[in-house]
Amino acid sequence: MKLKWFVFAASVLWAASAGAQKNASLDEQKKCDAQASKVYHQSRELEGHHGEDASGMNGYTSHFDPATNICYVWVRWAKIDKQGGSFADTIEDAFEGRVYASYMWMNLEGKKFWEVTPTACSVKPRKQEEITCKTEEEFDRLVDKYFGIGR
């Protein structure tokens, strides 16, 4: 009887600890977003742009993952002109600069958008092999799955 009670108690404790998920505090989220903003604006300045993006096509999203203590920043770049369009996304650690995922799509030949495959598409989950993706949808799904950050 004691063994059954012990097994029951241990399984309840295990289930409770497995289900307990630490949420990021408001302070952690604010610090992460401030650093993500800094990364985004510094990279804009390197490209010769200052201030906010008037087109609304460029920007960033931040996400603090308390389980790994990593602040992710998703930076989106877009450019459309007479030569065509290009889009680039990167997911990186906002404090360490480690790049975890990148996506680039360029259409400089005037083709229909569905006729053009990404120039680059890869996701590198922590402690795993790099995954090569084939579409923007797959990139988005993998980024959400491994880093908890989505559009």
Q: 126-144, pLDDT tens digit by residue?
A: 999 999 999 999 999 999 9
Does the residue 3 lie in any domain?
Answer: no
Rounded Cα distance, 80 and 57, in Å: 10
Report d(CA 104, CA 133) in Å as an integer.
Answer: 11
- Residues 118 and 134: beta-carbon distance below 8 Å: yes
**59 with 44: CB under 8 angstroms?**
no
Given pLDDT bands bounded at 50, 70 and 90, which one contains residue 39?
A: very high
Residue 56 within any structural domain of the chain? yes
- Residue 134 is assigned to a structural domain of this protein: yes
C-alpha distance from residue 20 to each of 13, 17, 23, 70, 142 (Å): 11, 5, 9, 19, 24
Domain membership of residue 97 as a residue range: 26-147
Q: How many CA atoms lie within 13 A of 64 on its CB side?
A: 18
What pLDDT digit, counting tens, does each position of 74-88 carry?
999 888 777 778 889
Number of domains the chain contains: 1
8 falls within a domain: no
Mean pLDDT, rounded, of the chain: 82
